[in-house]
Homo-oligomer: A and B are copies of this chain.
Amino acid sequence: MRLPENPAHAFLPYPAVPVEHAAAGPLAGLSFAVKDLFDVAGYPTGGGNPLLLALSGIKTTTAPTVQKLLDAGARFIGKTHTDELAFSMNGRNAHFGTPVNGGAPDRIPGGSSSGSAAAVSNRLCDFALGSDTGGSVRAPASHCGLFGIRPTHGRISLDRCLDLSPSFDTCGFFARDSRTFGRVADVLLGADATPLPQRVRLLRPEDVWGLLGKEVAAALAPSLVRVETVAGAAQRCDAALDSFDKMYWSFRHLQGREAWMADGPFIERFAPPLGPGVAERFAWSKQVTDAQVDAATRFRGAYHRHLAELLGNDGVLVMPTMPDVAPLLAADESELEAYRNAAIKMLCLSGLAGFPQVTLPLASRLGAPLGISLLGPAGCDRSLLTLAAAIASS
């Protein structure tokens, strides 16, 4: 591998040490990139923070999920930038810069799996591994015009991957086309223990759609028709419990507490300079109270039951992935923070429930990509992708 100079700002400029892959296998001929949270033997793991990179040393064991891809014949081409400590959703890393959104180069790529989305959307590789805690695959997939999945929590191993908030962290991936997306899914997901039936019960959560502005809803309308054409007319429903505020704060309190448990010791010991937004979020996370965590834990249980009941074994929510197309690169930090807070309200459904969500690059607005999502019950990941592929090819 010899990459051109800093293509699309997607990859960390690591010297290329050989990473072996099987000569044949279901992913033979495909190249892939790995978010710099996962260990790859011969490489450091930086997690988007320069000091963590400096302290990393060279890893001697490859994360099992990466190894699975190599064993299936896929060719590793590099490690990709991540938002700092994965605790951001916009893709602007204050230290390492901003990967280029291949679907809308004047807009942020979204994050935290920013470099992986940049690598795939700029056609530097066929697919890429990311992680999704609160939207870190779904947001950049929607922003960059890619297929992306947040799988059922725990379904794809995150062993030898830096934690953000373990009870939310998932290993997801990106591809430009549904066929490649499906090939990777076959390797990483295998068959569903609880597949969706041939005929799903499509549900349209009015409350989630109600979070959108009119122009965004209009931009998504044709994609919604495509989904209904394949999956049948959607029934209306509501998907939130209590209120979106309750959902939002439950997610944030739990994510914050766990993020502080994961990264607080590093931050307190070394006081590394953290980028704008990230520093504030960690400071906020540190002071989340036990009472907030207890209340949020109870709510999460209730929400899981609520959504499990709503979906049963055949229900699939069709909903917007993000509140809008990606903000412009010139957006200031407060705009991004407002956008992030709006996004969390729709991203936290699958996070709180631990259910899989797939985003499809079917729409656009202002010349920029916009994703539409399918969210199903736990363990239906592979059938959700089959449905997504049928919709994409319709």
Interface residues, chain A, with chain B CB atoms under 8 Å away: 2-6, 9, 12-17, 42-44, 50-51, 53-58, 60, 81, 94-97, 270, 272-273, 275
Is there an interface contact between B14 and A56, defined as CB atoms closer than 8 Å?
A: no
CB distance from A36 to the nearest CB of B (A): 11
Is there an interface contact between A97 and B5, defined as CB atoms closer than 8 Å?
A: no
**Chain B residues whose C-beta falls within 8 Å of the C-beta of A56 in the assembled complex:** 5-6, 13
Is there an interface contact between B58 and A2, defined as CB atoms closer than 8 Å?
A: yes
Is there an interface contact between B95 and A51, defined as CB atoms closer than 8 Å?
A: yes
**Chain B residues whose C-beta falls within 8 Å of the C-beta of A17 in the assembled complex:** 15-17
Is there an interface contact between A95 and B14, defined as CB atoms closer than 8 Å?
A: no
Highest count of chain B CB atoms <10 Å: which of A14, A15, A42: A15
Is there an interface contact between A54 and B9, defined as CB atoms closer than 8 Å?
A: yes
Interface SS, A side: loop
Q: Given that A50-B50, A273-B273, A273-B275 are known contacts, is A57 also in contact with B13, CB under 8 Å in the complex? A: yes
Is there an interface contact between B13 and A15, defined as CB atoms closer than 8 Å?
A: no
Q: Given that A57-B5, A275-B273 are known contacts, is A50 also in contact with B95, CB under 8 Å in the complex? A: yes
Is there an interface contact between B94 and A58, defined as CB atoms closer than 8 Å?
A: no
CB distance from A277 to the nearest CB of B (A): 13
Q: Given that A54-B12, A57-B13, A58-B16 are known contacts, is A270 also in contact with B97, CB under 8 Å in the complex? A: yes
What are 5 A-B contacts with C-beta separation under 8 Å?
Answer: A9-B54, A14-B14, A14-B15, A16-B17, A17-B17
**Chain B residues whose C-beta falls within 8 Å of the C-beta of A273 in the assembled complex:** 94-95, 273, 275
Alpha-carbon distance A326/B185, docked complex (angstroms): 56
8 Å CB contact of A53 from B5, B16, B96, B275: B96
